[in-house]
Amino acid sequence: GNSVTQMEGPVTLSEEAFLTINCTYTATGYPSLFWYVQYPGEGLQLLLKATKADDKGSNKGFEATYRKETTSFHLEKGSVQVSDSAVYFCALSDDGGATNKLIFGTGTLLAVQP
Amino acid sequence: ETGVTQSPTHLIKTRGQQVTLRCSSQSGHNTVSWYQQALGQGPQFIFQYYREEENGRGNFPPRFSGLQFPNYSSELNVNALELDDSALYLCASSFQTGQGTEAFFGQGTRLTVV
């Protein structure tokens, strides 16, 4: 079945450091890929998405490229801020068009220190 | 434009009881999905409603049931509560169903079963 695997956290970085959170997926079809962010005590917010191979999603300085050959969608940011501290979830949507059901990874906690 | 709102925010129930959680979808959205997020895990898809009909279901037992109303708000009902049902329950709405459609999440209802 379809699944998402994320690197385990926590990831602890100093402010202005470079961030990479790895995400790989398994899917039978051609999924759409997403990164969601969850701040403490809040629901999920869409950070970025890509719907086909080689697409790059970007938002708020974060980027991720849909790599079909490596089945990956790694999240990157060139310079993190304390306000980026949150849990990041990689997800895919691949339900043959019937639903926009999302399959999530287990999440990666990012802690940015001043 | 109002966002997705869920009620209540927190709830404590006793094992064996029944619970109803509510969700108001974002204005203009006709699709609602429900997810269960256990502590330290990614959200798991429970089911989705599109124009008042269930059009997709995850691996949850029948004691998890739902409704969608003509105004596209929704309820999640859980019967015969078990301790393992303790989790954050997230509702997400979207303007249509189908792979790749962005889902907008509410802040969730934290259910504790004792």
Dump pLDDT digits (tens) for B56-93: 999 999 999 999 999 999 999 999 999 999 999 999 99
Report which of residues A9 and B32 the model is more confident about: B32
Instruction: Give the Cα separation of A40 and A62 in Å (integer).
Output: 19
* Cα end-to-end distance, chain B, whole Å: 37
Contact B106, B3 (CB under 8 A): yes
Within 8 A by CB and 6+ apart from B61, the residues are: none
**In the prediction, which pLDDT does A49 show?**
94
Query: What's the mean pLDDT when you consider all of chain B?
Result: 93
In this model, does residue A28 exceed pLDDT 90?
A: no
In this model, does residue B17 exceed pLDDT 60?
A: yes
Q: Write down the residue that tokens 């501290």 correspond to.
A: A85
Contact B106, B54 (CB under 8 A): no
Task: Say if the Cβ atoms of B100 and A98 lie within 8 Å.
Answer: no
Q: Which of B91, B98, B111, B102 is nearest to B25 (CA)?
A: B91
**In the prediction, which pLDDT does A42 show?**
84
**In the prediction, which pLDDT does A73 show?**
98
Instruction: Give the Cα separation of A44 and B108 in Å (integer).
Output: 9
In chain B, alpha helices (H): none
**In the prediction, which pLDDT does A14 show?**
97
Judging contacts by C-beta atoms under 8 Å, the chain B residues touching residue A99 are: 33, 48, 50, 55-56, 97-99
Mean pLDDT of the region B7-15: 97
Among A4, A46, A99, beta carbon nearest to B97 = A99
**In the prediction, which pLDDT does B2 show?**
63
User: Among B99, B101, B110, which would you mutate to test the A interface (most chain A Cβ atoms within 10 Å of its Cβ)?
Assistant: B99
